[in-house]
Amino acid sequence: MRIEVVGRHLDITDAIRQHAEEKAEKLTRFYDRILAVTWTIEHHNVASGGSYQVELLVDVEHHDDLVSKDDGSDLYGVIDGVHRKGIRQLSDLHDKVKLHKRQGH
């Protein structure tokens, strides 16, 4: 699985990269056919302290990409929130695929 961490208007520090990569690696517990994970982290209104917008794009084998987004002032909190949304999407996909197989389609 390929993991990318992209920063817009923000330098990605080793700590941010490590946090995002650790979260991405945990996603395979919920669905094992993940090809790539891309985190895009944007910093808005840099002059006034600003806020962060984080997008998680999960490239899944044989399905459309899953996209989760969130924003807020605490970067690590926003990453964690987006991660939770990604887990929910992957769990839903896993259940859907499992049900589809059970029904014999």
| Residue range 83-102: mean pLDDT, rounded | 90
Q: Report the distance separating Cα 69 and Cα 85, nearest Å.
A: 8
- Which tops the pLDDT comparison, 93 or 104? 93
- At which residue do the structure tokens 């944007």 appear? 42
Q: Report the distance separating Cα 31 and Cα 105, nearest Å.
A: 20
Rg for the chain, CA atoms, rounded: 15
Res. 105 pLDDT band, cuts 50 70 90: low
| Residue range 34-61: mean pLDDT, rounded | 91
C-beta separation of 60 from 33 below 8 A = yes
Q: How big is the chain, counted in residues?
A: 105
CATH of the domain at 93: 3.30.160.100
Range of the domain at 43: 2-102
Q: Percent of the chain scored above 70 by pLDDT?
A: 93
Question: How many distinct structural domains can be found in the chain?
Answer: 1
Average pLDDT, the chain: 92
Q: Per-residue pLDDT for 36 more than 80? A: yes
Residue 14 CA: distances (Å) to CA of 56, 71, 86, 101, 102: 18, 21, 22, 41, 44
Decide: helix, strand or coil at residue 27: helix
C-beta separation of 51 from 71 below 8 A = yes
